[in-house]
Amino acid sequence: MEHRSVAIDGPAGAGKSTLARAMAQQLNFRYVDTGAIYRTVALGLYRTGQDVSKVLEQPQCLEEMDVHMDYDAEGLQHMYLNGEDVTTAIREHYISAITSQVAAHPNVRAFLLEVQRKQANLHDVVMDGRDIGTVVLPHADVKVYLTASPEERARRRYLELEQKGDTTPMEQILQDIIKRDEQDKNRPIAPLRQAEDAVVLDTTTLNQKESLDALVTLVRERLSL
């Protein structure tokens, strides 16, 4: 059976994961957070205790790592690294910076391509990331490019981290976001860019409910749901 797929791409902090998760729930699709998969690989490399760029030069470093995902009864995606549930650990601020570097490596992208496609072959999915509409699921039924200004994205991330007790200053978060945007857009492999047939949704001035409504309306229309 052909499964339906919604690809959501865009820069860090545009609200992709929150919106994609909520939309998947409404549509009864599986939500696949591909950033979490990259984060898990980054954590695995970080835990070797060696310089990540050096470890990546060793061709066997990825095969030695057991990365897999699973869904709990509430439909939440859990990430496992060598059998350990690292769903929370991969959200640490320092992992974000390493992940951007790790995700730019062609071996890592090739290693994770099938993991992601497999999900779309087996389930109706809402999948979010950076290259879902362009590389992973070029034939997705609906493609959305979700964005917001860097300042607004930094503000949202700040509030999110603050809730977890992380006191990283706003200015540092903004600088990190700008740096990550640059890295993600300018890398030679699978750079962050809008698919030609993607619908752009800028959420700078929209709250979460307005963004979700816009997204769900679009997808329902396209998929005749």
Footprint on this chain of ligand DC (rule: CB under 6 A): 12, 34-35, 38-39, 96, 99-100, 103, 129-131, 180, 184
Residue with smaller CB distance to ligand DC, 152 or 184 = 184
Token duo for residue 206:
């929209």
Residue with smaller CB distance to ligand DC, 48 or 101 = 101
Residue with smaller CB distance to ligand DC, 27 or 34 = 34
What is the nearest approach in angstroms of ligand DC to the Cβ of residue 17?
Answer: 7
Token duo for residue 212:
């979700």
What is the nearest approach in angstroms of ligand DC to the Cβ of residue 180?
Answer: 5
What is the nearest approach in angstroms of ligand DC to the Cβ of residue 67?
Answer: 14
Residue 49, helix vs strand vs coil: coil
**What residues have CB less than 8 Å from 108, skipping those under 6 apart?**
38, 41, 56, 62, 102
What is the nearest approach in angstroms of ligand DC to the Cβ of residue 197?
Answer: 18
Closest CA to 107 of 173, 154, 165, 63: 63
**Residue in the block written with tokens 């057991």:** 66
Rounded CA gap, 9 and 134, in Å?
A: 9
Residue with smaller CB distance to ligand DC, 18 or 26 = 18
Residue with smaller CB distance to ligand DC, 29 or 38 = 38
Residue with smaller CB distance to ligand DC, 121 or 217 = 121
What is the nearest approach in angstroms of ligand DC to the Cβ of residue 221?
Answer: 25
Strands 30-33 and 125-129: parallel
What is the nearest approach in angstroms of ligand DC to the Cβ of residue 224?
Answer: 27
Mind giving me the DSSP string for 52-112? HHHHTTSGGGTTTS-EEEEE-TT--EEEEETTEE-TTGGGSHHHHHHHHHHHT-HHHHHHH
